[in-house]
Structure 1
Amino acid sequence: MKNYKITVNGNVYDVTVEETTGTAAASAPAAVSAPVKTAAPAAAPKKETAKGPEGSVKVTAPMPGKILGVKVSAGQSVKKGEVLLVLEAMKMENEIVAPSDGTIASVQAAVGDSVEAGATLATLN
């Protein structure tokens, strides 16, 4: 276990991070006194909603949130800047756009999925 002190907006939090191996279940502490916070459990692996080979360009979530809409499917051609998904974060809808022209190789997010920052949402060829 590693302990860290993190300052967010002037508030200091003591965070303990436990490294796990494999599929160990995370458990919440019985009581947490403010302002000490614990780290969130690791997210489950994402399931593929569209079958196909892994693409060379990954489209990732810029922030944690919930997928409100998937506007593309595997095999579809897209242009740079075209909306691929809609991500709700902090009560705002954020459009996730194609970083370049290409063809959708796979879509790893579905409507209703909660995603973490950096999670792969789709891949392009």
Structure 2
Amino acid sequence: MTQHYFGHRIQQLRKSKGWSQADLAKRLGKKASSISSYETDAKAIPVDTLILLAELWDVTIDELIYGENVEILSVKSLSPEKKQVVSELIQNFAAKSGGKASTKVENLELLLRIAQAMGLP
């Protein structure tokens, strides 16, 4: 079975709207070459762009990544503080190994902030 990565899903959603890469790039304030890089998984999609894509297509980030049949936790209804925490979580765990690695303490602190933001004891 061929495995498709996130870029393939972005391409499917773009095409379902009948948009070219240039159309999507214009809506996002990006270059068409950036959209091409995202769709081929040659370039990681910044978290702020993921959020814009989700809002543009009125889907959750989970739906962007996994498709429509995923059990989802919508970030649409989260407060700005909770959205920021989720964004930090994604950035922290999606960091490439070539960049500054997060320490275990930083990860624990982030998880504690998430728990507090979600109202967990």
TM band (smaller chain)? under 0.3
* Larger RCO of the pair (alpha carbons < 8 Å, separation 6+): 1
TM-score for the superposition, normalised by structure 2: 0.17
Greater strand share, structure number: 1
TM-score for the superposition, normalised by structure 1: 0.17
Find the structure with the greater CA-based Rg.
1
